[in-house]
Amino acid sequence: MSEEIKKLQPEKLWKNFYELTQIPRPSKKEEAVASFVKAFGKKLGLETKEDATGNIVIRKPATKGYEDRETAILQGHLDMVPQKNNDVDHDFEKDPINAYIDGEWVTAKGTTLGADNGMGVAAAMAVLEDNTLEHGPIEAFFTVDEETGMTGAFGLKEGLLKGDVLINMDSEDEGELYIGCAGGMDTIATFSYKEEPAPAGTRAYKINAKGLKGGHSGLDIHLGRGNAIKIINRLLWESARKHQLQVASFNSGDVRNAIPREGEAIAVVPEANATDFENFVKEYNQTVRSELKSVEPGLEVSTTVVDNPAKIIDGETQNNLLSAVYGVPNGVMSMVADMPEVVETSTSMGVIKTEDGKITVVTLQRSSVDSRKIDLGNMIRAIFELAGAETQHKGAYPGWNPDINSPVLETMKQVYDKEFGKVPAVKVIHAGLECGLIKAVYPNLDAISFGPTIRYPHSPDEKVNIETVKKFWDFLIYTLKEMPKK
């Protein structure tokens, strides 16, 4: 870990971010970071509360002369996505993030950085501790488990928040203001299989796909990146027919909301077909590299001979699984009619896992139109059910409908133009933000989302641009100073 990060400007924000990188905080494991944040608020002598779900609110009074301003809720989530490269030894429940400065960026060595949403949390903490700022009443609101189901926002009840304006700091492009987001829903399929003895006279292979960029399954879905699950499955499906390949296991992806960048399958092929199979894999590698050459230059599909597994998946289940995974769509389904540059509806296959006689496939549907999200989820469910899988929908959350007449939007547009000489772009994001769930409980909140520039969130290539963190901070404190009167 490079402590040089703490010397970057603004110093208070970067100091807090550094401290967050030292605390393991994968989703559903936020106990340590929650204790850290509560202790931070109490040390400052500020009112600090935790609700039954684990969300934390820290209140800071207005500075003198700003008591009549609307209360700003500075909101971020405490958890981070735990993703790493296969060759990196890192335990997200025990080890700190090994972050460092790389030119104009801060990134981490082989793991996610946690700038999503550590930057928003660190900024709120910096506002709480900086008594030189001018602002109205502040509520710093920290939610839990955003990345694996928005548990904190789902558990929010009336009475915890008192503010007027929700400022979500979980967006990832500086100079852009977000006033709406997509809703989401998981569709999860589980295949139960019979274990059969691996046949004699076969050769076993580990089939790998690696070198993909991965990324956020909402923000990056329009980029056409390769999905390790789909790439490996295509090979398995073809080889099952051409070479009598039989699968023992298939694993790829760690979290539902990231595009899988690596994966592997263990399979056996009759000795008589081994040479043809190995040649096919080489040809297939060249085929998919050619198809994805402009977006995935690092992609490699390869095989390694391994010891024969004791058991394989029964043939009927294998056929159903591979056909269903092949047939389920993956990627952008439609664009917003009035904003053709914005994705309206998409789906991403995030996880496949073989364990204890079951194979689980997790997909995530997103849409700014709830009926289309449901329709797409049902389409995928129908495919899996026809293939004999037990299928369910989980974790559905609403979108956030944009309000182009939002007062905080107008204020922030004016502030940005005044301070930086241009009007910020106003957008709707194809990702899940907690604003929709929070506004479902507090419908009168005026809401907006913004943040510094973060690239490749939810992947080990995640990085945050140093220069934009300074602009993000300046924009935040200028906005707080200009909050409207009640």
Give the residue numbers annotated as catalytic, written as ranges. Answer: 79, 146
Could you tell me which of 409, 419, 422 has the C-alpha nearest to residue 470? 419
3-state SS class at 399:
coil
In 200-256, where does DSSP find H-type helix?
A: 228-242
3-class SS shares of the chain: helix, strand, coil, % to 5: 30, 30, 35
Helices (H), strands (E): how many in the chain?
11, 23
CA distances from 435 to 22, 49, 391, 432, 442 (A): 28, 20, 29, 9, 10
Do the Cβ atoms of 57 and 233 come closer than 8 Å? no
Preceding amide of 330 cis, omega within 30: no
* Torsion sign (Cα): 452, 456, 462, 465: negative
Q: Could you give the CA distance from residue 348 to residue 481 in angstroms, rounded to a whole number?
A: 41
Q: Could you give the CA distance from residue 220 to residue 67 in angstroms, rounded to a whole number?
A: 42
CA distances from 130 to 10, 133, 134, 430 (A): 11, 6, 10, 34
Largest Cα–Cα separation, the chain: 84
Q: Could you give the CA distance from residue 482 to residue 478 in angstroms, rounded to a whole number?
A: 6
Q: Could you give the CA distance from residue 346 to residue 259 in angstroms, rounded to a whole number?
A: 12
Q: CB neighbours of 281 closer than 8 A, spacing ≥ 6? A: 207, 235, 301, 302, 303
Task: Map tokens 């934390």 to a residue.
Answer: 56
148: left (phi over 0), alpha (psi -120 to 50) or beta: alpha
